[in-house]
Each structure stands twice: as C-alpha cells, then as structure tokens.
Structure 1
Amino acid sequence: MNFLKDEAGQGAAEYILLFGGVIVIAIAALLIYKNYIQNSNLNSADDAQTVRTNVGG
C-alpha cells in the first residue's frame, strides 16, 4: 500500500496539465479571433507614420 502514499511524480503531472490547459485556451482564442485577424487591414508603416504626425504637432 506504499504506492498510494507515493507522490513523487505528482508535481510534474500537475505542471503538464497546467501547460496543456494554457495551450488549449490559446488555440481556442486563435480560432475565435481568426476572422478578425484575417479580415483586418493592418498596416504598421501607416500606423507608425500617423503616430509620428500626431505626436510631432
């Protein structure tokens, strides 16, 4: 019955489950926001120029 009290691998298993949960949440977020990211007209060069213009005066 000593194997019931052995907790040697418990910490590693908990970290694996936690890491797996984070990955599942990240993939779900990417799938949900996929359409927003693909259909947006992001242009970092224009955005940076707009910020420079507005900050400069």
Structure 2
Amino acid sequence: MDDNAQASAEFILLFGGIFVVVLMAIYMYNNYINDLSGQIQSKEVNEFNNQLMNLKTYFK
C-alpha cells in the first residue's frame, strides 16, 4: 500500500514540475512576442515618418 502512495506522489511531483516548466516557457514566449511586436510597430512608424519627410520636399 505504501508503494502505491509513493508512486502516486512521485507522479504528482513529476507532472507539477513539467507544468511549471511549461508555464515558464509560455511566459518567456509571451514576452518575446510582445517585444517583437513593439519592434515591428516602431519600424512601421519610422517608415511612415520617412515617407512623410519625402513628401515634404515636394511641397516646399
């Protein structure tokens, strides 16, 4: 009876550890995606500003 309880406890600890690692990976991936989206938006804004500056030369 004690062996069954020990095996169950080990499985619970194993699955708990895997769950923690998966949550950490999701958290890190979420931060990576947020940083990436900020860079993409920044690039788009810079390109738009450059196009506006190019148009400015035609209206002087």
| Alignment partner, residue 58 of structure 2 | none
In the alignment, does 2:51 pair up with 1:32? no
Alignment of 1:1-57 (within 5 A): 6-40=9-43
TM-score for the superposition, normalised by structure 1: 0.51
Can you give the 5+ residue segments of structure 1 that lack an aligned partner in the other structure? Answer: 42-57
Can you give the 5+ residue segments of structure 2 that lack an aligned partner in the other structure? Answer: 45-60
Deviations 1:5-55 (A, max 9, x none): 6433100000000000000000011111212234557xxxxxxxxxxxxxx
Instruction: Answer with 1 or 2: which has the greater Rg.
Output: 2
For residue 22 of structure 1, what is the amino acid of its counterpart? A
Count of matched residue pairs:
39
| Alignment partner, residue 44 of structure 1 | none
Percent identical among aligned pairs is 10
